[in-house]
Structure 1
Amino acid sequence: MPQTISFTKGHGTGNDFVIVPDPDGALDLSDDQVAVLCDRRFGIGGDGILRVVRASAIDEGTDAAAAGAEWFMDYRNADGSKAEMCGNGIRVFARYLAEVGWASLDGEPLAIGTRAGVKTVTRSELGLEVDLGPWRVETDEVLVRARGIGAPRPGLGIDVGNPHIVVALPDTRELDGLDLGVMPQLHPEPPHGANIEFVVPSDPLVRDGVGSIRMRVFERGVGETLSCGTGVAAAALAVRHWAGPAAPDHWTVDVPGGTLGVRMPLVGDEHHVLLSGPATLVYSGEVALA
């Protein structure tokens, strides 16, 4: 008999996930099982899987458990591949923990283990906010070929715990004309691939001290998604980098699935990037594993 598991469907600005509770680490989902669960025709449908497991019950959670995080977000892309982080996913993960009573979002920041280290989540005006920590701007230029924009465009590498390549486009016509049903090509190809963001600055770029951009994204292991949390952060950081030292530390980013907020406060002696936005739980049920 096939094994039956519980699940909850959730999303953050349309970036959707199948949440699988496995507190004691009893499940060993294969890449094929993840792919079937995420299949939009033959499964539940989602951009990825969020397995909810105690940090002490998974080998990858050892450091997180030592740092005081009870829970570990085992995030898998829709093709089954592992990912370091997911900015929308971790907000949905935190919302699930609070909803089922396994953690609280009232009071101290909620620490959650990820493959990119321990991240903290708090409530915010837009819903929930995650501190993604410090970031890194890569020095090597990457050329990006994408259907619908003609000649290759230069991309800026931004690492926010997972790798991103951000490409600036001149206007919304080019952004809307992109065909992201075909995977963009990177030259050179990063060793572990990257999410690719295409951004257009608003006009004016800054209003009342807040920057504003539009974005579309192709996620490795998934394809185009309605939103990508870490991609939103990377896109805001890239535009801020290009705009120079006078650029603001607060941004709004419009994606096909909605609007997210990004800010870059000084935490201790280094700047962090924080992402805020909604996290929605849609329905729960049971499914037989393939």
Structure 2
Amino acid sequence: MSTSHEPALPSAPADPLLSDVLRTAASVLAAAGDPTPEVDAELLAAHVSRRSRGELAAISLRGGAFEGDLDEFESLIERRAAREPLQHLTGLAPFRHLELRVGPGVFVPRPETEMVAQLAIDALRATAEPAPIAVDLGTGSGALALAMATEVPNARVHAAENAVPAFLWAKENFAALAPAARLAFIDLASAFPDLDGRVDVLVSNPPYVPDAAIPRDPEVRFWDPPSALYGGEDGLDVVRILSDVGLRLLRPGGLIVIEHGEWQGAAIRELFTAAGWRAAATHPDLTSRDRATTALRP
């Protein structure tokens, strides 16, 4: 009796190893000039697979396969290689202990701004008021205002934004993270007249790039909204407005905190002093670059 053999079916292709996928993606990003190719590849893989970076590292170490939609991942890598901001691809930007929703039309908060938030938070905590008042002008995604609202829960936080796309992102973040905080769509120069002379801390990350300067990073040059970047011929047009508004809003002894470029500290101290502010001082960030200047309302 003869025995017949069925022809063997072709085996399904094995899922690619996570380590191989990450290595290939990182090489693509490195070739495109991404300053952190390995990190960005891991973060995008974590986003697609709905896992943390720690979980991905464990899977990679044990030789596990890539999880998630490989086509989606490769599409995101192509967009990142074109220098679309990572935060636009994931829809989230970390800031201190927060995750903020961001995308086209709003300035992506940077790690260096976290020390600006710390200056404002420390000042709020140091006040004798049981419910200190804080104002964030030009709030963008809401980063500074929401850091104050969530880390100083007894503070009454007010924020203003005058660009529609940014305001819409801020509205979403305020609703999710601090619905009791006040967000207003209003011109910064006329913001919150009901708070005149009552504010303890005024903080802002204004546009401060001189109009003729061209930001080096494509993520900034092509994706951040120009209204959040450029501040006139010397970059200080909005700072001058904030100085005037601060003198109106802050109580005597109240603190103004302004983020700026590393080369602008001396000019802003001079501007504040000429306007009558006291004790103007410039503060470095964690990389020892001048990042913020503070002054006290006379």
Q: State the TM-score, normalizing by the size of structure 1.
A: 0.25
Between structure 1 and structure 2, the one with the greater Rg is 2
Q: Which has the higher contact order (CA 8 A, sep 6+)?
A: 1
The TM-score, its normalising length taken from structure 2, stands at 0.25
